[in-house]
Amino acid sequence: MKFRLSPEQRQFAATLHELLGGADTAAAARAWAAGEHDRGLKLWRALADVGVFALLVDEDHGGLGAGPVDLVVACEALGYHAVPGPLVESAAVAPSLLTGDRLTALAEGDLVATVVAPPEVPLALDADVAGVVLDLTGAELTGVGDFVRSIDPPRRLFRVPAAAGASSGVAFDRGVLAVAAQLVGAGQWLLDTSVAYAKQRKQYGRAIGEYQAVKHLLADVVTRLELARPLLYGAAVAGDTFARDVSAAKVLAGEAAHLAARTALQVHGAIGYTAEHDLGLRLTKVRALVGAWGTGSFHRARVLR
């Protein structure tokens, strides 16, 4: 089957990249990591205005009634630009768990939701800023516990009271799909940035991108991303095998993004290790997302069931 995004979906992607490209998401992510949410919430409002949080909400509650493909388009752009906040939880998971006025508020961007699903998602992302913390039964959890440091500083994790967990079901699988899309987006940013740097950084009188060894490193990343992306969109249109397909997409997206991160460090050299460079935001983001909503071993086991 030949798959292509519709003109509307391509325009949606272009709109998101234009919006986020001019929003200084790196500054918003650094502020979010410090517990300063104003920049991030302003960005949240802008994303709500273009329909990101309304995608999976039915039209009766002010949503767009769209599907998983549109979710992937959005989350790939969000991953590319390293947007902070519980985006997966609010855009992908919560629409299946909320009802009534709260669902409408979610679609309009007036409610920030986060979700826990132990054992795969034991901690609540950004529970300090969320208006509601849910488990996968849709039950609301009250009382935010201790802060838990993440390897990715903008991912602010908190302990919450005991929650009902489930590693299956539409809500969980949509969360996995959204994380996989973010990983592909982050991997693409790492590749694009590495290619641009290789073209302008010179050693021995030549751009480093002219050296065959560097070309091969970057070509390997292209190959991995081009393998992961069809699985990602294939999972989005899957029917009865949705759970298995999203797990396969998550594994390959994680591997591709991890390779993109390692390669970006090699291409950039010492500057890539500095906290001031935006590369660092993606390196830690990728490392955190690879294990988010299920580890690689968990998803490989699901594929083999």
Distance (Å) of CA 129 to CA 1, 47, 109, 124, 133 = 43, 17, 13, 11, 10
pLDDT in tens, 124-139: 999 999 999 999 999 9
pLDDT in tens, 173-232: 999 999 999 999 999 999 999 999 999 998 888 999 989 999 999 999 999 999 999 999
> Distance between CA 69 and CA 49 in Å, rounded?
19
Amino acid at 116: V
What's the full length of the chain, in residues? 305
Tell me the backbone φ, ψ of residue 124, rounded to 5 degrees. -90, 120
Lowest-confidence pick of 94-98, 239-243, 248-252, 262-266: 239-243
CATH number of 173-304: 1.20.140.10
Averaged pLDDT for residues 148-158: 96
What is the chain's mean pLDDT, rounded?
95
Tokens of 78: 């969000």
Q: Which residue has the tokens 């516990």?
A: 145
DSSP three-state, residue 113:
strand
Distance (Å) of CA 212 to CA 78, 91, 209, 256 = 32, 42, 8, 21
Amino acid at 150: S
> Distance between CA 265 and CA 194 in Å, rounded?
9
Residue 56: pLDDT band (50, 70, 90) is very high
> Which of 11, 44, 10, 12 lies closest to 25 in space, CA to CA?
44
Q: Are 124 and 135 contacting, i.e. CB atoms less than 8 angstroms apart?
A: no
pLDDT in tens, 93-105: 999 999 999 999 9
Distance (Å) of CA 217 to CA 78, 153, 197 = 25, 28, 13
Residue 164: pLDDT band (50, 70, 90) is low
| Predicted local distance difference test score (pLDDT) of residue 305 | 85
pLDDT in tens, 291-301: 999 999 999 99
Q: Are 257 and 224 contacting, i.e. CB atoms less than 8 angstroms apart?
A: no
> Distance between CA 172 and CA 205 in Å, rounded?
52
Averaged pLDDT for residues 40-68: 97
| Predicted local distance difference test score (pLDDT) of residue 161 | 83
| Predicted local distance difference test score (pLDDT) of residue 165 | 63
Task: Say how many C-beta atoms besides its own lie within 10 A of residue 151's C-beta.
Answer: 11
